[in-house]
């Protein structure tokens, strides 16, 4: 399992008329946190793109528990619990407000897509190599 935390302050332009984080921006916060997790693992998403692989979202589930408000510092906890051989990866996100209350949770599944062949491909070997040590303690980290 790999886990990371990213903090994001709710900006005025991301809020609705009530001063709450607009519901569509939660997906953006998930993306920021995923990108940071991959960067922390050693293979920034920008490098993956240069290598010809992108990660489009194929499924997303979101549960809104409490509103994030303008100027709050939100902590996004991101977890990846499995390292698969197939071309999908799932990230689990939990958002906490400044009081430490869970305000939102989501699950995002992405696939790996080769820009040259325009087909799904397995996780890039370079990314797998960076992530594998985080999964060594559980079975073999692959299914």
Q: Which residues are catalytic?
A: 16
What's the token pair of residue 73? Answer: 């510092």
Write the DSSP assignment of 75-107 as a string of letters.
EEEEEE----SSSEEEEEEEEE-TT--EEEEEE
Please give the C-alpha separations between residue 10 and each of 13, 29, 59, 89, 132, in angstroms, as whole numbers.
Answer: 9, 10, 25, 27, 33
């Amino acid at each position: 399992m790999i886990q990371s935390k990213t903090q994001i302050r709710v900006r005025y332009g991301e809020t609705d008329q009530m001063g709450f984080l607009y519901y569509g921006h939660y997906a953006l916060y998930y993306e920021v946190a995923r990108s940071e997790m991959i960067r922390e693992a050693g293979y920034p998403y920008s490098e993956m793109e240069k290598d010809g692989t992108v990660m489009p979202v194929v499924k997303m589930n979101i549960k809104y528990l409490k509103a994030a408000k303008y100027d709050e510092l939100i902590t996004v906890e991101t977890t990846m619990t499995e390292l698969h051989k197939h071309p999908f990866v799932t990230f689990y996100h939990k958002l906490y407000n400044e009081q430490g209350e869970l305000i939102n949770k989501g699950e995002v599944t992405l696939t790996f897509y080769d820009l040259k062949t325009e087909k799904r491909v397995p996780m890039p070997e370079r990314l797998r190599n960076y992530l594998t040590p985080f999964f060594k303690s559980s079975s073999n980290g692959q299914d």
